[in-house]
Structures are given as structure tokens and as C-alpha cells.
Amino acid sequence: MRTYALERPVDGQDTWRDHKRHLWTLGLVVPLLPFLAMALYAGTGLAAALWLGPFVVLVVVPLIDLVAGRDHSNPPEEVMQALEEDRYYRWITYAFLPLQYVGLVLGMWFIATRDAGVAGDVGLALTLGAVAGIGINTAHELGHKKESVERWLARIALAQCFYGHFYVEHNRGHHVRVATPDDPASSRMGESFYAFWPRTVVGSLRSAWRVERKRFARRDQHPYRLRNDVLNAWLMSVVLWGALVLAFGTGILPYLVIQAVFGFTLLELVNYMEHYGMLRQQVGAPDRRRFERVTPAHSWNSNNIATNVLLYHLQRHSDHHANPTRRFQTLRDFPESPVLPTGYTGMMALAVVPPLFRRVMDPLVVAHYDGDLRRANLQPGREAELLARYPVPGADTVDAGPDTAAPVVGDDVAAARCPGCGHTYVVAQGNEPEGLAAGTSWADVPDDWTCPDCGVRDKVDFVPLARPDA
């Protein structure tokens, strides 16, 4: 196990080790589930064996979470850079993809050539969908990174479940609007998962298309071209599915659809719980109203070890939203973050039973906002009901807080830097992928433009620079 020397001792220790370093490889058990399911079927002849994927994700892992406990440890600040640069962690995420795709091909071959019955084939499709759903999380980890190869790997991981637009919407839509009524991926208190699912599936697709259409509009171009990241992502899925159908026949199409829907439904179950009821308050002068910056208080966290290993620390969601380009091994736990009663996989199982989910979660939302649900994100049409059930204690007004926007400065600058992730917009270079030609002045960058790397900071947050290398 790699040891990092510390100049400043932590808890009396002058060295630090990542005690989860080798546990992260257990995440690769997920793409092996189709192989295990087919082997179990071959050995037992039981169609139930092919349902291994959903059983492990929705039953086994939540039970392990309850037994294994939680881990609140954070890496010391002085090892963060070295930990980020340790390529061991990158190869763990890279290794997921070949296993994912070999399993998909083998699974479709099995459905096309073996007689496991409809129940068995559906079970195997759901097992493949479980891999696809965790694959979306792998794509989430890769898609936030600055290296172009990792961003392309993210799109490849998304192709299996025909959800490639997630790459656009999550990075440049959700991270900008998270915990606001405008975000289709932020659920509202009083909203069941069954109401959230169509809203987020359709809304995220529309949002991704708007993001790309706006990007090409800056170049005075129409969006119907292969450089559109929504279209080229869908093309990957068309090619993949088309190749599988050509290889194994049209009979596999229903099972391709089943695994895809189950895969992105697992994603949306996670989205549903991550920001349930959370609302960023509006701040600033009446003519400059904006939502406050994202803080650890706007995401539900969990430190249950099993799900954190399975999902690459996705449950440390507050730090992820504050630092989206940060790699999973360096994500930290914040004591001020609201905490779920169990891990994400356990909460996923709870979310499919709305009365039970609301009984557990609604009191936690109320407590998080000190009893004042006017500060929470409430389901439209249910505000009066929820406020009657949980009366506001005392206060007559909601304190919106100070304006956190950077002061307005002159736009005669050579460059501007994101104070969060460090991305620098250089006027002389522009940003061609964002539709900003070389020489586009800072004044001409649209006011609603956000950092293309982290998606957290708006134009108003950027720090103007007299020189690009300042």
C-alpha cells in the first residue's frame, strides 16, 4: 500500500495511506455480474440466477452497507495533488469499460442463442442494465475530467444505454442549475420518484439539446452536425445497437431496450435522492438576482463504505459539486453536509416505495431547513399541504443572504480565470468548442456563460487577468 510522507503530522501520524486503495477494485465486480449470472445458470439451470445484477445492486450492497459501517476519513490537504496524479485510480475506471462491453456482447449472444425462457432473458437484460447503470456513474467520473481521452471514454460508457446526452446535460446543465426549480435532475420535496422520472428523463434531454443549440448559435451555425455532442453520442449508440442486431438478430431488440431503460433508471434513482428538497436561495440586488453558489448544504451525502466503493465516492456529492474536476479518490466529507440514513443503493430501494421514502426523508428536509420549508424546493401544487403538515416556526420572512457574486469589473482584460477549477479563458485564443472565436473579448462573452470545465462558476465569478499567464 502506497505511503505518503506528511510534513505536518495528522492525528499524531507523519505518514498517510489510503486504506481504501485496494477496495476500489471491488467496483470491477459489477461488470463481472453478467459473466457470473450466466455461469450460475449454466451450473444450476435456474433462470433466477440470471437476475443476479438487480439482486446484488438493490439487495446485497444495501445489506453490506448496514454491516460494514461508514468511513468519514479525508486525505490530508498536502497529499491531495499527489493522490490526484496517482494513475492507479484512473486505470480502475478505465478497466470498467472493456468488461462492460464484453459482458454486453456475451449477454446478447446468450439471449439470442440459449433457451432460458422469457423470465431468464429479462433477468439477464436487467443484469446487463445494472452494469450499464453503474457504467453511467463511471462515465460521470470520466466525463468531468479535463483530458479529452477520458471525456471520450465517458461517451463510450454511455452508449450502451442510449443516454449519451447525459454527458452534455450533467456537466453543463445540472451542475449550473443544481438545487433550483429549473433543474430537471433536482427532485422536489413531495415529488414521488414516479413523477420525477418522466420529468428528469424528458427535461434532461431537452436541456442537453438547448445547451448544444446555444453553443452552435454563438458560431451562427445550426446544431444538426456531427460535432454536436448530443448527436455524436446518439450515433455511437446507433452503431453499437446496430452491430449487435446484425450479429444476433432483431430478437434481441426488446432486451436492448430493457437493459437501457433499467440502466438509466438506476441513474435517475440516484439523481432523485441526491438533492431531494434542496434549494439554493436567491441573492443580490433586485436587478441582479441569482441563485447562491452551491455549498455542501445542497447535496445529500453518505459515507457508507460499500456503496462508496461501488460508485467511486459519488456519495461525497457535496465536494463533487464544489470541485467537479476532482478525482474520486480525493473527494472529502464535510461535517455540515446533510446525511442520508443509509447508502445510495439502500435509498434507491426505498425510493421505489414513495410513502416509505417520504416518511424517512421529509422530516430530514424539515430539520435541514430548521423547520422553515419556505426555504426548500417543494413540489408545485403541494406547497400548502406540506406547509400545513410542517408549520413554519415563528419567522415571517426568508433571509436570502448576501450577494455572493463577484463585483462587476471592467471588461478590458486579456484573460479571465475560474476561481474554482482554474480554467482560464484567454481572449486571444477564445474557446472554439464553446462557440467563442479567437479574439472574442471578455465583454462579448455571454453573461449566462459558465465555466466549461467545472460548470460551477458563472462569468460574473471569473477573475479578470491583465495577462494570460498571470
The confidence score (pLDDT) of residue 408 equals: 44
- Rounded Cα distance between 361 and 254, Å, is 35
Give the rounded distance of the alpha carbon of 207 from its chain centre: 15
- Each residue's pLDDT, cut to its tens digit, for the chain (470 residues) gives 688 888 888 777 888 899 899 999 999 999 999 999 999 999 999 999 999 999 999 999 999 999 988 888 899 999 999 999 999 999 999 999 999 999 999 999 999 999 999 999 999 999 999 999 999 999 999 999 988 999 999 999 999 999 999 999 999 999 999 999 999 999 999 999 999 999 999 999 999 999 999 999 988 999 999 999 999 999 999 999 999 999 999 999 999 999 999 999 999 999 999 999 999 998 887 777 888 888 889 999 999 999 999 999 999 998 998 888 899 999 999 888 899 999 999 999 999 999 999 999 999 999 999 999 999 999 999 999 999 999 998 755 455 455 544 444 445 688 999 887 888 999 888 888 888 888 898 888 888 788 888 877 788 888 888 887 76
Domains of the chain in start order, with CATH, are: 3-345 (no CATH), 415-465 (2.20.28.10)
Q: What is the pTM of this model?
A: 0.88
The confidence score (pLDDT) of residue 250 equals: 97
